[in-house]
Amino acid sequence: MPDTSPRTQPQPQPEPQPLRRPLRRPLPRGESDALIANPEGGIERLLEIMARLRDPQTGCPWDLEQDFASIAPYTIEEAHEVADAIERQDWRDLERELGDLLFQSVYHAQMGTEAGLFTFDSVTRAISDKMVARHPHVFGQESRDKTAEQQTADWERIKAAERGAAGPARVLDGVALGLPALTRAVKLQNRAARVGFDWPSTDEVVDKIVEEARELAEARNRLTEAEITEEFGDLLFVIANLARHLKIDPEAALRAANAKFTRRFGRIEDWLEEQGRSPADSDLAEMDALWNRAKREEKDSEAERR
């Protein structure tokens, strides 16, 4: 007799709900004012605030002048400020910066709505559909018994299939031009590596770095400014490749190096200030000695923490 216990009976699937039609914004003034004044208004409140800022009759003149291109630099800046708050482990500041970044999405969605291109609802629907499609091991029938590396490979495979469905594509298509240069270099190299265009080990990459650095140093006095810039770009590109082979995020590594430099140079200023002086009153030999003192101080502090 077949097992018909509740445990094995197929569960009824919920009926798909119709998509909510976006509200026409801004709302009538009374409803709009009430929503904006409501601290529990959530995303609807933020969308209404944005619509009011862009209202042709009563909006903010500065906001009305903006377009996608003029807002894009602010979007990039806010993303960097999110990363900065995480780097500093300032979680209160991260909360604020995430809000600023969310507002950028709302801003672009409002302009898209005005131009008849897309809406905030269509944006959220698109990202929801994408996340479901790219996680078949969570939302579909595929097994979750995979390593993180396997899941990353599956993610890239699905992305490649999506690009193919959109029409013929080249290997490097779709790597955003607006990415930080080091990040984009790594992504370009990853794409090329997937079709076999890659050095087999870090040894070849290191050899190429030495070669590029030597060429730049030897030729710097006979090259034009444009040629020096090109050679330096080649060197940075190979360094990004080394980061990729070492599985290091070059942007994160450089941010850490910037923070270390800032911290140690700050100690040089502290010690000179104790003598009533500034770096401008010092010389390289003295500041180099103070730099080494700052390094020892940090290492001693790290040893104590261990």
pLDDT surpassing 60 at residue 260 = yes
Mean pLDDT of 102-128: 96
pLDDT surpassing 80 at residue 28 = yes
How far apart CA 270 and CA 279 sit, in angstroms, is 10
CA angle 26/28/34 to nearest 5° reads 90
Average pLDDT, the chain: 87
Question: What is the per-residue pLDDT for 165?
Answer: 65
Condensed to tens digits (0 to 9), the pLDDT of residues 181-209 reads: 999 999 999 989 988 999 999 999 999 99
Question: What is the per-residue pLDDT for 177?
Answer: 86
Mean pLDDT of 269-278: 96
CA distances from 92 to 23, 43, 74, 104 (A): 32, 20, 21, 19
User: Which among 301, 275, 302 is positioned nearest to 287, based on CA atoms?
Assistant: 275
Condensed to tens digits (0 to 9), the pLDDT of residues 32-78 reads: 999 999 999 999 999 999 999 999 999 999 999 999 999 999 999 99
Question: What is the per-residue pLDDT for 223?
Answer: 87
User: Which among 122, 134, 196 is positioned nearest to 159, based on CA atoms?
Assistant: 134
- Number of Cβ atoms within 10 Å of the Cβ of 77: 12
pTM of the model: 0.63
Identify the DSSP state of 3.
-
